[in-house]
Chain A
Amino acid sequence: MHSIVQAALAAATVGLAGAALAQGSTMDEIAKYREMLADGNPAELLEAKGEELWKKARGPKNASLEQCDMGLGPGKLEGAYAQLPRYFADTKKVMDAESRVVHCMVSLQGFTQEEATKNWFSKPGRDSDIEALVTYIGARSNGEKINVPARHPEEARMAKIGEHIFYRRSGPQDFSCAICHGQEGKRIRLQELGNLTTQAGAGTAMGNWPSYRVSQGAVWTMQRRLIDCMRQARWPEPKYLSDSVIALEVFLQKTASGTVMQTPGIKR
């Protein structure tokens, strides 16, 4: 684990060194990376917190999440994240890791949906239980192959909906996801862009989440990542856990299937 983090950091540092030659302003970023080389990935702290939250009796029903079914059976977390989103018969819905955790917080612990999702992302001075829980659950798939064949008709439908949204252009800049993420070997400014229409590209994009984002000083979940993509496209933000986001995840995970997860990740 540590060596993976170090390799990622080394690669990131090399990338940054190039950028620094171009822009002196990235020197601060390098300093931050160096700091982290000494400390490891900050996401690992969140992972530990997530484990605690998973096992702790909480909520009106004073229950833990240990009986939560993330797709492989109650309490079975090893490799579960790598096989999400998937169709769940009990809710008759295709759910991703986050919508499933929230479902369990509601059904097992007795929280309301509103309570469970109130702090779905962290801000300085405001922690997010969901971020911690999802980081913990994600890490239980570290080294596992992404496996979302989308064979169930509902999964297949969501994959197609996600694909439609991926190519859908709108807004004052005529953007779609494909504009930046549909070609090989392109970059925005100095930022390299993954081609999410290929297995390798989608694998690189999907396999590291949840990920500690140095530029944000926080761990981001996949939902947060995709919702922010929409913001950058100058669209309104889709609702947390909305079907659009889950559909995009199904499409991308299906494309990425067969690639190996390395999570929690660390990103720009």
Chain B
Amino acid sequence: MTRTIARLALAAAGLALLPGLAQAQKNAPHNDIAAQAEQVFRSSFRADNPKYWMTRLDQDEAMRLCSQYRDNPPPKMRAQIEKAQMATIRYPVEGKLIGDWKEGEKLAAVGTGGHIGFIQPDPPGRLRGGNCYACHQLAKKEVAYGTIGPSLQHFGKLRGNSDEIIKYTYDKIYNSNAFSACTNMPRFGLHSWLTPEQISHIVAFLVDPESPVNKD
């Protein structure tokens, strides 16, 4: 009985989503080319690649829609993506969202890890960081920062360190698409690129008044 109700509810939810998506698909240009391109892309990789490598080519719903709309989905779809991504966010077991800014500072600078392949893969166990400086200005003393993302210098100084700001910062790093569908920023928590604990350290680096992001 309960199971039937649950099924009905799921079916209804599915139906509610469908009209919007079906409409979007119809409006998307080059659908036949997209199908051909997917086939060409998939067949461009070695058959003896380990399976887990090949899963990196898979797209979840957000990736698929962002690709299709070149990171600029129509407003309704944008809202749908953000809502669905918000629901993916998980928190540290002990519930502490702000950790040690010194650990966060280290993680923000590390750009290695996660490279696969036959030519130049990362050695096993290579440290995987947040690589925040690739795209963001953070502590004043680090001048080798990228500009793909906005400057986050004085992040906490400007916003304070209320529970609300701490949660927003954690959530944004865990799943950036929950706030801005198809943003350039990776979804660090969703992909388990960073652990919830590591994310809490980066939160501290951004928010803690003692962190060089805010102090200098």
Please list the residues of chain A having a beta carbon within 8 angstroms of any beta carbon in chain B.
Answer: 19, 21-23, 121, 157, 160-161, 164-165, 167-176, 178-180, 182-183, 185-191, 193, 227-228, 231-232, 234-239, 242-245, 247
Cross-chain contact B145 with A189 (CB below 8 angstroms): yes
**Which residues 83-123 in B have Cβ within 8 Å of A in the complex?**
111, 114-120
- Which 3 pairs between the two chains have the least Cβ-Cβ distance? A242-B44, A244-B44, A164-B37
Contact A189 B133 (CB under 8 A): yes
Closest-by-CB residue of A relative to B128 is A172
**Given known A-B contacts A236-B45, A238-B45, A243-B40, A171 and B57 have beta carbons under 8 A apart:** yes
- Chain B residues lying within 8 Å of A167, measured Cβ to Cβ, are 67, 70-71
Chain B residue nearest to A232 (CB atoms) is B115
Q: A180-B148, A243-B43, A243-B44 are known contacts. Are A169 and B66 too (CB-CB below 8 A)?
A: yes
Residue B33 CB within 8 A of the other chain? yes
In the bound assembly, the distance between CA atoms of A168 and B40 in angstroms comes to: 13
Q: Could you give, for residues 133-175 of chain B, a 1 whenever the CB lies within 8 Å of some chain A CB and a 0 otherwise?
A: 1110000000111111000000000000000000000000000
Q: Are A186 and B143 in contact (CB under 8 A)?
A: no
Docked CA distance A167–B72 (Å): 11
Q: What are the residues of chain A within 8 A of B45 when measuring CB–CB?
A: 236-239, 242
Q: Once the chains bind, are A165 and B41 in contact (CB under 8 Å)?
A: yes
Known: A182-B71, A243-B43; 7 extra A-B contacts, CB below 8 A, are A157-B33, A161-B41, A164-B34, A164-B67, A176-B71, A234-B115, A243-B44
A182 to B67 Cα, complex, angstroms = 13
A189 in contact with B33 (CB, 8 Å): no
Q: Enumerate chain B residues within 8 angstroms of A169, measured Cβ to Cβ.
A: 59, 63, 66-67, 71
* Interface contact A238-B148, CB-CB below 8 Å: no
Note all chain A residues with C-beta closer than 8 A to B145: 189
Interchain CB contact under 8 A, B186 and A231: no
B56 contacts A189, C-beta separation under 8 Å: no
Task: Return chain B residues, CB-CB under 8 Å to A235.
Answer: 56-57, 116
Contact pick for A234, options B43, B54, B56, B66, CB 8 Å: B56
Q: How far is the CA of A247 from the CA of B148 in the complex (A)?
A: 26
User: Do A170 and B56 have beta carbons less than 8 Å apart?
Assistant: yes
